[in-house]
Amino acid sequence: MPMENLEPKKVFKYFKAISDIPRASGDEQAISDYLVNFAKERNLDYIQDSSLNIIIKKPATKGYENSKKIILQGHMDMVNEKAEDSNHDFTKDPIELILDGDFIHANKTTLGADNGVGVAISLAILDSNDINHGPLEVLITVSEETDMHGAQNLSDKVLEGDYLINIDSEEEGVMTVASAGGELYFAHFTPEIENLPKDYTSYEIKFSGYKGGHSGGEIANNRGNMIKVMADFLNKTPESMLIDFNSGSKDNAIPRNGFLKIALKDNSSFDKIINELKEKYKDVDGKLIINYKEIENVEKAQSIKSTKTFSNYLIEQHTGVKAFTDSSKKFVELSSSLAIVKKIQDGTYEIWNSMRFGKADEFKDFKNEFISISKKYPEVKYEFINYYPEWEYKEDSILRDIAIDLYKETTGKEMTVDITHGGLECGVFYIKYKHLDMISIGPDIFEAHTPRERLSVSSTKRMYEFVLKLLEHLK
């Protein structure tokens, strides 16, 4: 891809460099070391902490020495999702970038513009000597896409800034000023295993066709949840015995495909059930595709009773919007996304359900629903993990006011102020650094966390130029 022809040249140069480095959440050593070398090569002060977070510092330009100190912030990890027919190996293969008109997308994988473009913008600024700015810190964290442990483990004494500009939003012209908190419901289901009866035949049923997407930003949209469809199918099959159930790969991505392996006396009900499900879920975005085939060499499976119990348990799990902030249904208050169901090595099933909330005091009752459901099933052991706090809306924000006025002045358009149901690290920073004045902005990114993820080139250029103007105005 001719990245060198795109403007701004430095932004896309670094976006390409970042895309060449595998950087799944939890596997950030290489990208963290790349950022250290970037700082060393430019004689910039830096910190690489024990979690592999990076802070790079650059002195103020002439005339800005007494300005407010500014933090540009993003995260170095990305969500690794790929199409079923992709052979991409996220542990070693670079992301293959494809330019298609105004958009960059990857070859059947997630692009990593979330948040590679935010990091690239920050690096381009650090690598330039003709940009006016106050004392500058660039903070790039690890594992934002999973448990935010990079932000969670960041020292509360390391940052010196007054303003924090998070470049991890995905819609140009929209400024995020508050975000959801969240926690993960994590459970194990222990099945009862039996020998298959001799008159039983085994089948693999594949489910596909849904769009998936980010379980924060897309949860109120009509994306469907393939785990629910699969549990529904399993529940409807008479006298079935479950061999395997697998759907979902990331706790913050809505599951879009999966497979079941089941055994039963005959499959004469399959076509009827498939047609019923297609009718039931006909309004979901995408087109539900269900295919099945006979498989051999299966000797054991869950008992009929255990199979029914498991499907009932999954059906009872809440997924989707639980509550909106008000009757306008513009902002989601509570939600959950049944994100992953998979069999692990010991034969039990892991169940991951990602819960999000706007206000912590309204979250308790929602958690209690998960507790009540879990206690109905002796086969289930559960815990709540990976908590991260919400970012509360701040009534008075000088940074927000300056950015809104500047956007109107430079574009002639009003900037929309938004509260996102996605989780942002700003919530963690809000707890650690109460004095920080924060906003979150970014260029147009579409369908993040899916293989259809794409980044607008022109929007990236406009957002970069806006950030430069904002830095210049924060004098």
203, part of any domain:
yes
426, part of any domain:
no
384, part of any domain:
yes
User: Are both 151 and 188 inside the same structural domain?
Assistant: no
Residue 94 preceded by cis peptide, ω within 30: no
State the pLDDT at residue 362.
81
User: Cβ-count burial of 65 within 10 angstroms (0-12 exposed, 13-18 middle, 19+ buried)?
Assistant: exposed
Q: Check the CA dihedral 123-127-131-137 and report its sign.
A: positive
413, part of any domain:
no
85, part of any domain:
yes
User: Are both 131 and 188 inside the same structural domain?
Assistant: no
225's tokens: 């949840």
- Closest Cα partner for 217 from 289, 282, 145? 145
Q: What CATH number should be reported for the domain holding residue 71?
A: 3.40.630.10
User: Are both 315 and 347 inside the same structural domain?
Assistant: yes
CA–CA dist 93, 302 (Å, integer): 38
Residue 115 preceded by cis peptide, ω within 30: yes
What does the DSSP assignment read for 138-192?
A: EEEES-TTTT-HHHHHS-TTS---SEEEE----STTEEEEEEEEEEEEEEEE-PP
436, part of any domain:
no
403, part of any domain:
no
3-state secondary structure of 359: coil
Catalytic residue among 77, 251, 425, 444: 77
- Closest Cα partner for 375 from 316, 288, 454, 291? 316
User: Are both 244 and 331 inside the same structural domain?
Assistant: yes
388, 417, 452 - which closes a domain: 388
User: Are both 276 and 369 inside the same structural domain?
Assistant: yes
State the pLDDT at residue 248.
96
CA dihedral 73, 177, 465, 126 (to 10 degrees): -10
C-alpha distances in Å from residue 68, one per residue of 125, 142, 222: 17, 26, 43
State the pLDDT at residue 260.
98
Catalytic residue among 81, 144, 425, 437: 144
User: Are both 266 and 155 inside the same structural domain?
Assistant: no
Residues 79, 252 contacting (CB under 8 angstroms): yes
77 is known as an active-site residue: yes
3-state secondary structure of 82: strand
User: Are both 160 and 242 inside the same structural domain?
Assistant: no
State the pLDDT at residue 231.
98
- Closest Cα partner for 323 from 405, 399, 421, 241? 421
pLDDT digits (tens, 9 = 90+) for 18-49: 999 999 999 999 999 999 999 999 999 999 99
* Beta carbons within 10 angstroms of residue 26's beta carbon: 13
Q: Report residue 463: phi and psi, to 5°.
A: -70, -40
User: Are both 49 and 86 inside the same structural domain?
Assistant: yes
User: Are both 116 and 225 inside the same structural domain?
Assistant: no
State the pLDDT at residue 5.
86
State the pLDDT at residue 456.
98
Number of domains in the chain: 2
* Amino acid, res. 217: G
State the pLDDT at residue 283.
94
Residues 415, 404 contacting (CB under 8 angstroms): yes
Domain that holds residue 86: 3-172+442-473
Per-residue pLDDT of the chain (475 residues; tens, 9 = 90+): 567 789 999 999 999 999 999 999 999 999 999 999 999 999 999 999 999 999 999 999 999 999 999 999 999 999 999 998 999 999 999 999 999 999 999 999 999 999 999 999 999 999 999 999 999 999 999 999 988 999 999 999 999 999 999 999 999 999 999 999 999 999 999 999 999 999 999 999 999 999 998 898 899 999 999 999 999 999 999 999 999 999 998 898 999 999 999 999 999 999 999 999 999 999 999 999 999 999 999 999 999 999 999 999 999 999 999 999 878 788 899 999 999 999 999 999 999 999 999 988 889 999 999 999 999 999 999 999 999 999 988 889 999 999 999 999 999 999 999 989 988 999 999 999 999 999 999 999 999 988 999 999 999 999 999 999 999 999 8
User: Are both 222 and 371 inside the same structural domain?
Assistant: yes
CA–CA dist 71, 161 (Å, integer): 6
318, part of any domain:
yes
Instruction: Check residue 129 and report its DSSP letter.
Output: S
User: Are both 379 and 462 inside the same structural domain?
Assistant: no
144 is known as an active-site residue: yes
* Beta carbons within 10 angstroms of residue 361's beta carbon: 7
Residues 206, 230 contacting (CB under 8 angstroms): no
388, 406, 430 - which closes a domain: 388
CA–CA dist 355, 363 (Å, integer): 9
User: What residue spans of 27-95 are helical by DSSP H?
Assistant: 29-41
State the pLDDT at residue 300.
96
User: Are both 356 and 247 inside the same structural domain?
Assistant: yes
